[in-house]
Chain A
Amino acid sequence: MATVKKRFGATDGWVNMPDGTSHYIFGFVDITGVPENQIFQYRGKATLLAPLLEAYEGDEVYLTLTNLGLPSRPDLDDTHTIHWHGFPNQIPLWDGVPEASISVPVGRDFTYYYKPLDPGTYIHHCHFEPVEHIQMGMIGPVTVRPQLEKELGRKFAYNDENTAFDREALIFLTELDPKPHHLVANVQEFDWTEYSPEYWLINGRSYPDTVKPADDPSFPQQPFSALVEAYEGEKVLLRFVNIGFQQHCIQILGIPLKVVGLDAQQLRGYNGEDISCWRDAIYIAAGQTVDAIFTAPRAGIYPLYNRNHYKNTIAGTAFGGMVTEIRVLSKP
């Protein structure tokens, strides 16, 4: 088993939407290995999504959170935490709930320790005033890989050969209501019961930005593409995450999905019964994850979109939003 050492900085930044607007965010930035005297160069460079945290089952993960402060809101000295959402048998010290253990003030560090034993798709997010810090962007993906991958040298979602795949992609769902982002940037209060998003995002971007490359220079703080590419006949694992405040329903036109896991648990009954199932739509609530596998059909472009069609828009008007593309290519 390996030891994984990571360090995330908590800070702020700005993200771009396809209509040319920019929105203030809080978030995390990967500062693993950055010399101590250079970490403050990462202030203001939070990314949406936060960095992926990835480990194998049985690894020992030491994740240090450093609160770098909010350069655009120097008056706001909120503490932060990292909550590994769904970690089984967690103890409060590493659960990241400020009211139940420790949070991290500006300029300070805290190291979380995890030894994940259950493969699957999880979420990490800050749990300080979560309605604000989650909406502001302190959210990221967590993947735990099964030991079976190491034993067989191939890829699996769980410790079961029926969950084999060739490629994987993250479908990480959130919404963005520009009002609280604007008010927080301008030191104003927002009544969260008035939450009414106007942008619906996959991997921190709104279509057509979702299909642009990860390193597209237009999105320095949105480093996750949501374009899914595969060759005909390949198995593709989609890791669905919903960490918005709404329920979502995702379809891929022309591609059925085999749901093999929910909330980082393989779909198995009490005695190991196989209760995986086929779906044409993934209905997913806030705080849930779904692992689903499809076999890439004949070459072509297959749109992935939200069946709550009003969410496939940019600021309520133009077609876009919670949409991306599955591009299936002929075998080379």
Chain B
Amino acid sequence: MPVIDLWAKDGYLSTPDGNSIYFWGFSKSETGPAQLPGPYIIAKQEETITVNLYNKLSEPVSISFPGQPVVTVGGQPVQPQYSDGQLLSFVNHAEPGGMVSYTFTPSYPGTFIYESGTNPHKQVPMGLYGGLVVRPADYNPNVKEYKTAYGAGTNTEFDREYLLITGEIDPDMHQTVEEGKPYHVSKYLPRYWTLNGRCAPDTMLMDHVDYLPHQPYGSIVMGQPGEKILMRYIGAGIDNHPLHPHGTHTRVVAVDGRLLKNGNVDLSYKRFTVLVGAGQTYDQIYQWDGLGYTPQNPIPTTLPNLRNMGIGDAGWTMWSGSPYLGMKGDIPVGVVSYNEFGEYYFMLHSHEELQITNWGEFPGGMMTWVAIYPSLSHDVGVLK
């Protein structure tokens, strides 16, 4: 039986504008850093899993598993906890210095959130949340028809997969909690918006970069033309966020870990913007096929002299300088290009555009890229 150990701890988040923000998060080990979001939990349908929570914070902490009907502690279903007659936790919690052990058996596959169930109006925005992926019982990543989100025969095969967890940060709230002062939730006013715990442009960095010890997950989505890229959105913040990937539509195949299918009737649909509500999850297939242009089948317009155009106004560009996939062109002197092999970059961002700023400064916030490479290792886009 898989056993996951999580430690609830504190730490400091880094934002690209140089801010350092106190937060609470889950850690994989007693000595490791708290992280935002918490460690991804990968479980399997019909396989019982135990999550042990060790509480290193100064107030009770718990974990709720929305979408899992029966979670037990000590063999009994989890129950709300009260302190002096007042609701303190939706589920059994661990006292400071203590631990609590949750056990459940996911009965259906999908994408889920796990989050604090104790003072959640404070603890969830403080960072006590993470993503839970449940593999279908017949999952086999080595066989194409069994590498699916929802089981063989559900039209949810994928080549690569990514978790994208939305969140917001109101720095005043975090500072108030750090100082141990009471916080008024009605004053909630986010200044930062996060994907997988990072603000752009940090979202564009790889996983596990040394200088973001508390924010181990990047959110660059990478794939090849024609591949089925599974994007698992989780709304972990207080607000709803309309996520818009450039390049092409997504097909929404499941919401809240439930396949969009009634019997044989497929209810999936395509969108170019999906509103990820608080606590919701959306599983979608993104498949970019391109327009077929190559140097042998050239574009029907003339590329202007690039020195006359705006390139890299932000101080950098992701562009190759060429219209063609896998080709590089002449980027004007003095412009830094982060393009590697002539791959294509498509922005993926919240369309409530103030959310793609860091405290009002563009670029930032809830923004990342979908990068389409001419060829890409099979090791990329694997959830571990």
Q: List A residues at the B interface (Cβ < 8 Å).
A: 60, 62, 79, 83, 85-86, 88-93, 95, 97-105, 108-113, 115, 127-132, 134-135, 190-195, 243, 245-247, 262-265, 267-271, 273, 275, 285-288
The 5 A-B pairs with the shortest beta carbon distances in the complex, nearest first, are A287-B351, A103-B310, A79-B310, A269-B266, A285-B242
Binds A, one of B21-29, B130-138, B139-147, B284-292: B284-292
Q: Mark B340-373, 1 if CB is under 8 A from A, else 0.
A: 0000111100111110110110110000010000
Task: Report if B258 contacts A (CB, 8 A).
Answer: no
B16 contacts across to A, CB distance below 8 A: none
Q: Nearest Cβ distance between residue B28 and chain A, in whole angstroms?
A: 32
Q: Is B155 an interface residue (CB 8 A)?
A: yes
A181: min CB distance to chain B, Å: 15
- CB-CB under 8 A from A86, the residues of chain B are 249, 272-273
Q: How far is the CA of A262 from the CA of B249 in the complex (A)?
A: 11
Shortest C-beta distance, B335 to chain A (Å), equals 11
Q: Can you list 12 A-B pairs with a CB-CB distance of less than 8 A?
A: A90-B346, A99-B312, A100-B369, A103-B310, A104-B309, A110-B304, A131-B362, A192-B360, A262-B271, A270-B268, A285-B275, A286-B350
A288 to B311, CA, bound (A): 28
A78 to chain B, nearest CB (A): 8
Q: How far is the CA of A303 from the CA of B233 in the complex (A)?
A: 36
Question: In the complex, what distance in Å separates the CA atom of A262 from the CA atom of B275?
Answer: 12
Do residues B319 and A113 form an inter-chain contact, with CB atoms below 8 A?
Answer: no
Contacts of B311 in A (CB 8 A): 98, 101-103
In the complex formed, the residue of B with least CB distance to A112 is: B301
A243 to B271, CA, bound (A): 15
Also in contact, A287 and B272, with CB within 8 A (given A90-B246, A91-B344, A97-B347): yes
Cβ of B306 < 8 Å from any Cβ of A?
Answer: yes
Shortest beta-carbon distance from A270 to chain B in Å = 4
When A247-B275, A287-B244, A288-B242 are in contact, do A105 and B267 touch as well, CB less than 8 Å?
A: no
Q: Across the interface, do B271 and A95 meet the contact criterion of CB distance under 8 Å?
A: no
Residue interface bits B256-270, CB-to-A below 8 A is 1, else 0: 000010000111111
Cα distance, A224 to B271, chains bound together (Å): 27
Q: How far is the CA of A105 from the CA of B310 in the complex (A)?
A: 6
Q: Are A91 and B290 in contact (CB under 8 A)?
A: yes
Which of B251, B266, B369 is most buried by chain A, counting CB atoms within 10 A of its CB?
A: B266
Q: Given A98-B310, A102-B310, check contact A90 B304 (CB 8 Å).
A: no
Give min CB distance, A100 to chain B, whole Å: 4
How far does the alpha carbon of A83 sit from the alpha carbon of B248 in the complex, in Å? Answer: 13
**B190 surroundings in chain A (CB, below 8 A):** 193
User: Smallest distance from the beta carbon of A14 to chain B beta carbons, Å?
Assistant: 22
Binary interface encoding of chain B residues 304-341 relative to chain A, with 1 for a CB under 8 A from any of its CBs, else 0: 10101111111011110001010000000000000000
CB distance from B81 to the nearest CB of A (A): 34
B271 partner, pick from A112, A129, A194, A263, beta carbons under 8 A: A263
Across the interface, which residues of B come within 8 angstroms of A128, CB to CB? 310, 313
Picked from B290, B309, B360, the residue with its CB within 8 Å of the CB of A102 is B309
Given A92-B345, A269-B268, decide whether A286 and B242 contact each other with a Cβ distance below 8 A: yes
Sample of 12 more A-B contacts, CB < 8 Å, known A105-B309, A286-B352: A62-B301, A91-B344, A97-B345, A100-B246, A100-B344, A101-B311, A101-B317, A108-B304, A113-B299, A131-B362, A245-B353, A285-B240
B287: min CB distance to chain A, Å: 9
In the bound complex, residues from chain A placing their C-beta under 8 Å from that of B288 are 89
Contact between chains at A263 and B273 (CB < 8 Å): yes
**B324 nearest in chain A by CB position:** A91
Q: How far is the CA of A112 from the CA of B300 in the complex (A)?
A: 10
Q: Is the CB of B347 within 8 A of A91?
A: no
* Most A CB within 10 A of own CB, among B272, B345, B352: B272
**Which of A99, A105, A265 is within 8 Å of B270, CB to CB?**
A265
**B191 in the interface, Cβ–Cβ < 8 Å?**
yes
Find out whether the CB atom of B344 lies under 8 angstroms from the CB atom of A92.
yes
User: Which of B242, B249, B251, B269 contacts A267 (CB under 8 A)?
Assistant: B269
> What CA separation (Å) do A267 and B268 show in the bound complex?
9
Q: Which residues of A contact B360 (CB under 8 A)?
A: 190-194
Q: A285, B351: Cβ atoms under 8 Å?
A: yes
Flag if B289 contacts A91 (CB, 8 Å).
Answer: no
Are B249 and A265 in contact (CB-based, < 8 A)? yes
Name which residue of chain A comes closest to B273, CB basis. Answer: A287
Q: Is the CB of A273 within 8 A of B265?
A: yes
* Residues of chain B in range 113-161 having any CB-CB distance to chain A below 8 Å: 155
The answer to whether B272 and A98 touch across the interface, beta carbons within 8 angstroms, is no
Cβ of B316 and Cβ of A99 under 8 Å apart? Answer: yes
Contact among A102, A193, A271 for B354, CB-based, below 8 A: A193
Q: Is the CB of A130 within 8 A of B268?
A: no
Interface status of B33 (Cβ within 8 A of chain A): no
**How many Å lie between the Cα of A192 and that of B350 in the bound state?**
14
Counting CB contacts under 8 A, is B247 at the interface?
A: yes
In chain B between 145 and 192, which residues have their CB closer than 8 angstroms to a CB of chain A?
155, 189-191
In the complex, which of the residues A108, A134, A262, A264 contacts B309, with contact meaning CB atoms closer than 8 Å? Answer: A108
A111:B301 contact, CB within 8 angstroms: yes
User: Among A85, A270, A287, which residue has its beta carbon within 8 angstroms of that of B251?
Assistant: A270
Known: A269-B269, A275-B267. A88 touches B309 (CB 8 A): no
B293 CB–A CB distance under 8 Å: yes
Contact A270 B242 (CB under 8 A): no
- Contact flag A131-B356 (CB < 8 Å), given A85-B272, A103-B313: yes
User: Taking the nearest CB of chain A, how far is it from the CB of B383, in angstroms?
Assistant: 24
How long is the Cα–Cα vector from A191 to B359 in the complex, in angstroms? 7
Kindly state the separation between the CA atoms of A232 and B317 in the bound complex, as whole angstroms: 55
Contact A288 B271 (CB under 8 A): yes
